[in-house]
């Protein structure tokens, strides 16, 4: 019995001894002096917070980089704006009111700020740490590189607190309405980047307030919030200096037609039943102003199995061309190119022959106009990439640039960096940029540089399900740009579907297990304004 008690005491003592050793030798036991701004902002729940080591998890200070520049006289006076990515690589910023001393700091300064005893509060819509004297700020370095942070305006509008007091780039921004030659930056102007409209605010006292408005530019600035009548945060974007404007274009290029939908895998045979929908942005007489449409199929069986050294003119089973040389369409009218069956969803489905067909023939028995071997599939179903491009004119070679282009998926031999480069040329669209809008480097091909966006195959689709890719977007002919980027809506057609399903707003009703309607989704078509 004594032995049992003795061994029991030993077994009990071992883990206690181990715990004691583990605690005294734990290498990560020292709490950082620096609280991430992500965690600091999370302390604010709608009322003022006096900061202490207790509520800052043992920390006392910030270690961040300055993004404010008061030389342009366009930022809220006296605010030092800093940001960091110390928590989960999530960029967050905060404002520190320190009066005239804020102007002593410039973007790229690395600083530490003792904020213990300060008060976290929202002042005039902006979350700030008040009560911090300038002597609690220490500059550690200067000229740090601040990477560009491209953020769509719709993201900022959806979550203004997340982006407040951070430096963001509004890319490919244009003004809505289109500015007159005499319009200047001063005041509140609406900038559209293809995702939504956001307010660009310029003080009357700003050194660049009288600068004329560009047609298209990148706008680098800091997001600040005001509080609306309903208590909701309303974001505004403020440039710091004139250097925060990077002009991209002084002219407007409007494509005569845009790609708005297609069916790549109808319910039944694909041969002679695939088609593509376009929307005219102006009146077109194809006899006097011809165009061409080229598809690319990069499935594993499509030959030649090489990178597209001839671009869209590669031919054989990789690219296929339709020439559009007769017929007319009116501005705002949909028109079609594809197989001669002219059925909405393959064999036995509704005829859409009465719609505006500009070019149709049996591509499964006939070679393309100029290049492309007869094929049962214009567009891939294998999971590899396929694309559609429309060109002005009927000559398409390695150097020809389309006026609009879309791609689905990423697989296959699409782009080779070279030298020499080989790939499918793109246009300036809602998805693609011939010149990188951030680095200003040329990137003329799909998958080159930032041109990596694409639509995806339907996530649950299997063969022959009749999914139509109905793109919902808004193109402004007045502004010469996409004001709402296209998004893929997967509309499953039936054999009795009509042309209204793909040309008009379509309602899809979801029912529960008892057959009761529980949800109605609206699928809009692409439109111009």
DSSP 246-288: EEEESS----SEEEEEEEEE-SS--TTT-EEEEEESS-EETTT
List CB contacts of 30: < 8 A, sequence separation 6 or more: none
Query: Are 352 and 342 contacting, i.e. CB atoms less than 8 angstroms apart?
Result: yes
pLDDT at 22: 39
Q: What is the pLDDT of residues 312-356, one digit of tens each?
A: 999 999 999 999 999 999 999 999 999 999 999 999 999 999 999
- CA dihedral for 280, 281, 286, 290, sign (positive or negative): negative
The C-alpha angle 471, 473, 479, rounded to 5 degrees, equals: 145
Q: Which residue in this structure is represented by tokens 């529960």?
A: 512
Q: Do domains 37-141 and 153-249 have the same CATH topology?
A: yes
Residue 405 CA, distance from chain mean position: 16
pLDDT at 4: 43
Q: Going along 35-186, which residue ranges are E strands?
A: 49-50, 61-66, 79-84, 92-97, 110-114, 119-123, 126-130, 137-141, 167-175
Structure tokens belonging to residue 201: 């605010």
- Torsion angles phi and psi, residue 359, rounded to 5: -150, 125
103-112, 253-262, 444-453, 515-524: lowest mean pLDDT where?
A: 515-524
Report yes or no on whether pTM surpasses 0.75: yes
Mean predicted confidence (pLDDT) in 428-439: 92
Give yes or no for residue 513 having a pLDDT over 90.
no
Structure tokens belonging to residue 490: 């997967």
pLDDT at 437: 87
Structure tokens belonging to residue 505: 């707003």
- What CATH fold (topology level) applies to the domain 37-141? OB fold (Dihydrolipoamide Acetyltransferase, E2P) (2.40.50)
Helix (H, G, I), strand (E, B) or coil at 238: strand
User: For the stretch 188-227, what's the b/e string if a residue is b when 16 or more beta carbons lie within 10 angstroms of its beta carbon?
Assistant: ebebbbbbbbbbbbbbeebebbeeebbbbbbbbbbbbbee
pLDDT at 523: 86
- Beta-strand relationship, 275-280 and 233-239: unpaired
Q: What is the pLDDT of residues 181-240, one digit of tens each?
A: 899 999 999 999 999 999 999 999 999 999 999 989 999 999 999 998 888 999 999 999
Mean predicted confidence (pLDDT) in 473-489: 93
Terminal Cα-to-Cα distance of the chain (whole angstroms): 93
DSSP string computed for 321-374: EEEE-S-EE-TT-EEEEE-TT-BBTBTTS-B-TTS-EEEE--TTTS--SSS---
Q: What is the pLDDT of residues 371-408, one digit of tens each?
A: 999 999 999 988 899 999 999 999 999 999 999 999 99
CATH ID of 153-249, from 2.40.50, 3.30.70, 1.10.3470, 2.60.120: 2.40.50
pLDDT at 444: 97
Give yes or no for residue 487 having a pLDDT over 90.
yes
Provide the residue ranges of all domains of the chain, joining segments of one domain with +: 37-141, 153-249, 257-502
Q: Which of 363, 216, 227 is nearest to 295 (CA)?
A: 363
Give yes or no for residue 24 having a pLDDT over 50.
no
Query: Are 428 and 404 contacting, i.e. CB atoms less than 8 angstroms apart?
Result: no
Q: How far is CA 58 from CA 29, 47, 122, 314, 519, in A?
A: 12, 21, 23, 64, 49
Query: Are 219 and 86 contacting, i.e. CB atoms less than 8 angstroms apart?
Result: no
Omega prior to 471 cis, within 30 of 0: no
What is the C-alpha separation between 297 and 383, in angstroms, rounded?
11
Rg (CA), the chain: 30
Residues above pLDDT 70, as percent of the chain: 92
């Amino acid at each position: 019995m004594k032995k049992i008690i003795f061994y029991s005491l030993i077994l009990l003592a071992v883990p206690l001894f181990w715990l004691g050793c583990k605690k005294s030798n734990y290498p990560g036991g020292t709490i950082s002096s620096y609280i991430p701004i992500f965690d600091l902002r999370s302390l604010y729940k709608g009322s003022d917070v006096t900061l202490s080591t207790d509520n800052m998890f043992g920390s006392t200070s910030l270690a961040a980089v300055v993004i404010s520049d008061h030389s342009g006289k366009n930022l809220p006076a006296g605010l030092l704006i800093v940001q960091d990515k110390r928590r989960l690589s999530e960029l967050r910023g905060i404002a520190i009111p320190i009066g005239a001393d804020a102007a002593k700091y410039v973007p790229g300064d690395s600083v530490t700020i003792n904020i213990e005893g300060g008060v976290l509060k929202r002042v005039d819509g902006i979350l700030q740490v008040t009560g911090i004297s300038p002597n609690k700020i220490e500059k550690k370095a200067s000229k740090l590189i601040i990477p560009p942070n491209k953020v769509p305006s719709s993201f900022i509008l959806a979550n203004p607190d997340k982006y407040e007091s951070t430096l963001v780039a509004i890319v490919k921004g244009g003004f809505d309405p289109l500015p007159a030659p005499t319009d200047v930056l001063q005041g509140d102007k609406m900038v559209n980047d293809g995702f939504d409209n956001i307010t660009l605010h310029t003080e009357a006292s700003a050194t660049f307030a009288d600068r004329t408005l560009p047609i298209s530019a990148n706008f680098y600035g800091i997001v600040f919030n005001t509080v609306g009548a309903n208590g909701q945060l309303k974001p505004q974007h403020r440039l710091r200096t004139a250097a925060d404007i990077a002009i991209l274009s002084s002219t407007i290029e409007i494509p005569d037609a845009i790609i708005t939908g297609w069916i790549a895998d109808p319910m039944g045979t694909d041969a002679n039943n695939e088609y593509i929908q376009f929307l005219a942005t102006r009146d077109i007489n194809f006899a006097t102003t011809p165009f061409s449409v080229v598809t690319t199929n990069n499935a594993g069986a499509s030959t030649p199995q090489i990178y597209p050294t001839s671009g869209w003119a590669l031919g054989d089973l990789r690219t296929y061309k339709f020439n559009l040389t007769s017929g007319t369409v009116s501005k705002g009218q949909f028109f079609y190119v594809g197989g001669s069956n002219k059925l909405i969803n393959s064999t036995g489905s509704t005829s859409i022959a009465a719609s505006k067909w500009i070019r149709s023939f049996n591509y499964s028995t006939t070679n393309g106009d100029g290049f492309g071997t007869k094929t049962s599939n214009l567009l891939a179903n294998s999971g590899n990439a396929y694309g559609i491009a429309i060109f002005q004119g009927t000559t398409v070679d390695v150097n020809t640039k389309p006026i609009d282009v879309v791609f689905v998926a990423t697989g296959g031999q699409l782009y080779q960096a070279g030298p020499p480069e080989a790939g499918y040329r793109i246009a300036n669209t809602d998805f693609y940029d011939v010149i990188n809008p951030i680095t200003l480097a040329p990137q003329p091909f799909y998958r080159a540089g930032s041109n990596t966006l694409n639509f995806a195959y339907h996530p649950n689709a299997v063969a022959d399900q009749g999914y139509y890719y109905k793109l919902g977007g808004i193109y402004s002919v007045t502004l010469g740009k996409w004001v709402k980027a296209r998004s893929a809506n997967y509309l499953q057609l039936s054999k009795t579907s009509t042309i209204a399903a793909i040309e008009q707003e379509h309602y899809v009703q979801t029912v529960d297990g008892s057959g009761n309607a529980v949800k109605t989704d609206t699928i809009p078509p692409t439109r111009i304004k």
